[in-house]
C-alpha cells in the first residue's frame, strides 16, 4: 500500500510543513505543498490519503494536524538510538546539523580511531574508541549507524556493526557495502550525486 517513494515524500512533506508552521501557517492546499515538494497536487493527496489523513474541500489541510499524522506514521514507538562512525569533517558536519533536530532518532555516540578525540563530548555526543564498538552498541541497544569513514575501512566496520545488532546504515563512504538483505543501507556517495547533477543540468 505504502511504497518507498511514498515514504520518502512524506518525510519531505513533514520537513516542509514544520518549516511553514514556524512561519505561522495554519492551513495548506495540496497545490501549495506540491509546489514546495515538486509533486503534483494529486500526488500529495494520494500520499496523505495513504496514511489516512483527509483534507476538507475549500480549506485544504490543517498544518498542525498534518504534521502530527505524518509523524505518527513515520515515527517508531520508541526512539531509535543512532551512532556515527568517524568524526572527520563530514562526521562533525552531520552531528552539527542533526543534533536534536529529531528526538526520535538521537545520535548518541560517535566512534573514533583517533585517541585525541576519544573521551570528549561533541554536540552532546560522546566520543568513544572504535575498540568498544560492539560492547556499547549491544549494551545500549543502538539500532542505526552513520558511516563517514574512508572507503578502505567501511566494509569491515559495517560487518562489525551488523554483528552487534545494527539494523540500518546511512553510508557516506564511497563503497557499496555487501551486507545481509535484512539490513537497510542507504548510500550517499557525494561524487555520484555531483555526477547526477552534471548529467541532468544539461
Partner DNA sequence: TAGATTGTTAATCGATTAACAATC
Contact 200, 192 (CB under 8 A): no
Contact 104, 138 (CB under 8 A): no
Cβ-based nearer residue to DNA, 58 or 78: 58
Query: Which of residues 13, 61, 109, 111 is near DNA by CB under 7 A?
Result: 61
3 state DSSP class of 46:
helix
Query: Which of residues 72, 114, 132, 186 is near its own copies by CB under 8 A?
Result: 186
| Piece in contact with DNA (CB under 7 A), picked from 44-52, 119-127, 132-140, 160-168 | 44-52
Q: Which partner in DNA, its own copies, none is near 120 (CB below 5 to 8 A by kind)?
A: none
- The per-residue b/e assignment along 34-59, b for 16 or more CB within 10 angstroms, e otherwise, is bebbebeeebbbebbebbebebeeee
Query: Which of residues 1, 4, 58, 180 is near its own copies by CB under 8 A?
Result: 4
Task: Return the number of other C-beta atoms located less than 10 Å from residue 74's C-beta.
Answer: 14
Using alpha carbons only, what angle is made at residue 23 by residues 48 and 76, rounded to the nearest 5 degrees?
Answer: 45
Contact 148, 94 (CB under 8 A): yes
Query: Which of residues 11, 25, 26, 42 is near DNA by CB under 7 A?
Result: 42
Q: Residues interacting with its own copies, by CB under 8 A?
A: 4, 7-8, 11-12, 15-16, 36-37, 74, 76, 80, 82, 88-90, 92-94, 96-98, 101-102, 104-105, 143-144, 146, 148, 167-170, 174, 176, 178, 183-184, 186, 188-202
Q: Residues interacting with DNA, by CB under 7 A?
A: 3, 5, 29-31, 40-43, 45-46, 48-49, 54-58, 60-61
Amino acid at each position: 500500500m505504502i511504497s518507498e517513494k511514498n515514504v520518502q515524500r512524506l518525510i519531505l512533506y513533514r520537513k516542509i510543513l514544520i518549516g511553514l508552521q514556524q512561519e505561522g501557517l495554519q492551513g495548506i492546499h495540496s497545490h501549495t505543498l506540491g509546489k514546495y515538494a515538486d509533486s503534483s497536487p494529486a500526488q500529495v493527496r494520494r500520499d496523505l490519503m495513504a496514511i489516512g489523513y483527509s483534507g476538507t474541500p475549500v480549506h485544504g489541510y490543517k498544518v498542525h494536524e498534518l504534521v502530527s499524522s505524518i509523524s505518527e506514521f513515520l515515527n517508531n514507538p520508541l526512539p531509535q538510538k543512532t551512532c556515527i562512525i568517524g568524526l572527520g569533517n563530514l562526521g562533525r558536519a552531520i552531528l552539527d546539523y542533526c543534533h536534536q533536530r529529531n528526538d526520535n532518532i538521537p545520535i548518541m555516540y560517535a566512534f573514533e580511531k583517533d585517541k585525541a578525540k576519544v573521551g570528549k563530548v561533541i554536540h552532546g555526543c560522546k566520543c568513544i574508541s572504535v575498540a568498544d564498538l560492539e560492547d556499547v552498541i549491544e549494551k545500549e541497544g543502538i539500532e542505526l549507524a552513520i558511516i563517514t569513514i574512508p572507503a578502505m575501512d567501511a566494509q569491515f566496520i559495517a560487518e562489525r556493526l551488523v554483528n552487534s545488532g545494527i539494523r540500518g546504515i546511512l553510508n557516506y563512504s564511497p563503497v557499496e557495502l555487501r551486507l545481509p538483505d535484512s539490513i537497510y543501507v542507504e548510500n550517499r556517495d557525494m561524487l555520484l550525486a555531483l555526477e547526477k547533477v552534471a548529467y541532468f543540468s544539461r
